């Protein structure tokens, strides 16, 4: 650890005493003697903390300039977090968090994009989903460790700040992930109209505007209401996918006999199609990273966040594999790749089900994906504003709803504009690009932390090759997609 020049900084020592009152002492450090006093104080307090005489101790060295130097293992101070300010409410339990993440992953992908993946990968669409899951899996383990170390809103921005210590990089990454969430919400909002048209033929702009504004109102209402609604909608999503899997049980039973048909040959053109499909399918796994941005509203985040992230990704991967196998075996590829309501068509082919039932469930799944992205993006902008990286107005929390209303209104406006102007596939590809860039940088941040500080002594920890593979696989998928699009 390198110490800054002691000519112009303050040391703030905060010792929470039994959660009742805060004792804060500010020592003006201008001489080597005061430096020695700081080190001695830190050593004694750490010894006391380890002896469990007090619960915790946090130390900050705050420059009188805007720069902040943080003692390793801590997070830089956050503005607007005094006892007098309204804070976010810790209301999200482990089951609610799991449903929050799982609903986002499932709603954002398989209901909308299975046909688009099949258009690129043909019958090998299940392989494309598994390849995308592998790329997402490395980053999920990275997020699990980082969320355990730093359970704060504006998760990715905090991780980059801790890894590289450059605020401008953190600001860019935070804005990128917020943009990805908003583009993702716009994507599934457009997909909503395809299933809605099964019931009623209305202008697409009217339907899209109505659903975005309705979800925006729910997001402003409260986090318990938003996440509670997301949990209920996630149950509906899982039921919908389970119905598809059950209807296709005979097709799944035939997989061992049809395995030669489903396994791709060692052919460059085939694997190129699988790679392009995997890039689109990657969008279907986006969602687990959003869970870290509600960290300040999660109960026991150091334990519950990493556990929920990994469970959500595992469950989603299994369901995607089964549903994609059923889809490619049930429908002709030409029909599947052009369908605007692919799972409705799959069920119509497999069983004598009323198409409106699966369309209704599909709409609920899509609504859930958009709702969760709204919650994530608004909390991310709020967290960045609290750190001084965005305008102060975005950090304000409504005293009644305990939600960041200004940040939410901005997010809703951007989602509505994107959903009205851009087609589904363009939005999905743009989201995948943005998220893969962010994943690359987050994996690099964990690598930097591990090389500098070693393995974490508490909480979740993964082998160092995990973020390395996460960085390489994310970057490789970006390069592959760019090369193929350019060549085409």
Q: Is the pLDDT of residue 6 over 80?
A: no
Q: Is the pLDDT of residue 307 over 80?
A: yes
User: For residue range 135-160, what is the model confidence (pLDDT) as tens digits?
Assistant: 888 998 898 888 878 877 667 778 88
Q: With bands split at pLDDT 50, 70 and 90, how would you rate the model's confidence at 177?
A: confident
Q: Is the pLDDT of residue 17 over 50?
A: no
Question: Lowest-confidence range among 31-40, 51-60, 100-109, 225-234?
Answer: 51-60
- Rounded Cα distance, 332 and 342, in Å: 11
* Tokens read off for 486: 């350019």
Q: Tell which wins on pLDDT, 400 or 472.
A: 472
Q: Where are the domains of the chain?
A: 9-70, 94-487
Q: Is the pLDDT of residue 471 over 90?
A: yes
Cβ within 8 Å of residue 116, ≥6 positions away: 280, 337, 424, 425, 428
User: For residue range 42-73, what is the model confidence (pLDDT) as tens digits?
Assistant: 433 443 343 333 333 333 323 223 333 333 34
Average pLDDT value for the chain:
76
Q: Is the pLDDT of residue 446 over 90?
A: yes
State the pLDDT at residue 24.
32
Q: With bands split at pLDDT 50, 70 and 90, how would you rate the model's confidence at 415?
A: very high
> Which residue(s) pair with 17 in the sheet?
21
Q: Output the CA torsion sign for 158, 390, 423, 223.
A: positive
From the list 299, 285, 336, the residue with the least C-alpha distance to 223 is 299
Please report which helix (H) or strand (E) contains residue 16, including its range: strand 9-17
- Rounded Cα distance, 278 and 133, in Å: 9
Q: With bands split at pLDDT 50, 70 and 90, how would you rate the model's confidence at 327?
A: very high
* Tokens read off for 312: 């959500």
State the pLDDT at residue 199.
83
Q: Is the pLDDT of residue 1 over 70?
A: no
The 3-state secondary structure of 299-311 reads: CCHHHHHHHHHHH
State the pLDDT at residue 176.
86
> Which residue(s) pair with 205 in the sheet?
none
- SS3 of 63, please? strand
Token pair 């309204």 in the structure block, residue:
86
- SS3 of 262, please? helix
State the pLDDT at residue 461.
84
First to last CA, the chain: 50
Q: Is the pLDDT of residue 427 over 80?
A: no
Helix orientation angle between 110-121 and 301-330, rounded to the nearest 10 degrees: 50
* Tokens read off for 237: 């999503």
Tell me the HSE value of 62 on the side-chain side, using a 13 A CA sphere.
16
- CB-CB contact of 87 with 223 (8 Å): no
Question: Torsion angle of alpha carbons 441, 321, 196, 223, nearest 10°?
Answer: -50
CATH class (in words) of the domain with range 94-487: mainly alpha
User: For residue range 277-287, what is the model confidence (pLDDT) as tens digits?
Assistant: 998 888 788 77
Question: Lowest-confidence range among 217-221, 266-270, 467-471?
Answer: 217-221
State the pLDDT at residue 355.
66
Most confidently predicted of 6-15, 66-75, 96-105, 175-184: 175-184
């Amino acid at each position: 650890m390198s110490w800054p020049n002691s000519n112009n900084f303050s040391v703030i020592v905060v010792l929470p005493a039994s959660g009742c009152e805060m004792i804060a002492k500010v020592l003006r450090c201008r001489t080597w003697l005061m430096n020695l006093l700081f080190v001695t104080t830190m050593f004694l307090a750490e010894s006391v903390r380890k002896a469990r005489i007090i619960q915790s101790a946090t130390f900050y060295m705050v420059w009188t300039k805007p720069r902040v130097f943080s003692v390793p293992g801590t997070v830089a101070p956050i503005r607007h977090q005094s006892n007098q300010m309204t804070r976010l409410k810790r209301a999200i339990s482990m089951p609610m968090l799991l449903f929050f993440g799982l609903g986002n992953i499932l709603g954002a992908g398989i209901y909308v994009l299975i046909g688009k993946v099949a258009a690129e990968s043909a019958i090998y669409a299940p392989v494309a989903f598994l390849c995308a899951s592998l790329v997402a899996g490395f980053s999920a383990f990275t997020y699990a460790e980082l969320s355990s170390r730093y359970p704060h809103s504006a998760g990715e921005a905090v991780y980059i700040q801790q890894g590289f210590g450059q605020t401008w990089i953190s600001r860019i990454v935070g804005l990128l992930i917020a943009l990805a969430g908003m583009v993702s919400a716009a994507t599934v909002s457009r997909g909503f109209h395809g299933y809605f048209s099964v019931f009623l033929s209305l202008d697409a702009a009217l339907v899209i505007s109505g659903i975005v504004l309705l979800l925006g109102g729910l997001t402003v209402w409260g986090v318990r209401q938003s996440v509670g609604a997301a949990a209920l909608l996630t149950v509906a999503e899982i039921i919908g996918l389970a119905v598809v899997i059950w209807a296709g049980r005979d097709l799944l039973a035939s997989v061992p006999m049809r395995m030669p048909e489903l396994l791709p040959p060692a052919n460059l053109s085939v694997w190129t199609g699988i790679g392009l499909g995997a890039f689109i399918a990657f969008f279907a796994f986006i969602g687990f990273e959003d869970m870290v941005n509600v960290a300040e509203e999660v109960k026991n985040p150091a334990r519950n966040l990493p556990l929920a992230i990994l469970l959500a990704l595992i469950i989603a991967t299994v369901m995607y594999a089964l549903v994609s196998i059923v889809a490619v075996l049930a429908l002709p590829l030409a029909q599947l790749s052009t369908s605007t309501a692919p799972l409705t068509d799959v069920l119509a082919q497999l069983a004598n089900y009323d198409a409106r039932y699966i369309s209704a469930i599909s709409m609920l799944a899509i609504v859930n994906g958009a709702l969760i992205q709204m919650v994530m993006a608004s909390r991310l902008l709020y967290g960045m504003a609290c750190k001084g990286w965005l305008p102060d107005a975005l950090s304000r929390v409504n005293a009644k709803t305990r939600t960041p209303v200004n940040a939410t209104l901005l997010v809703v406006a951007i989602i509505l504009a994107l959903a009205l102007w851009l087609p589904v596939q363009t939005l999905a590809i743009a989201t995948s690009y943005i998220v893969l860039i962010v994943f690359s940088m987050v994996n690099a941040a964990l690598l930097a932390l591990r090389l500098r500080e070693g393995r974490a002594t508490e909480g979740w920890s993964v082998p160092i090759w995990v973020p390395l593979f996460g960085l390489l696989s994310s970057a490789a998928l970006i390069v592959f997609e760019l090369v193929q699009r350019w060549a085409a």
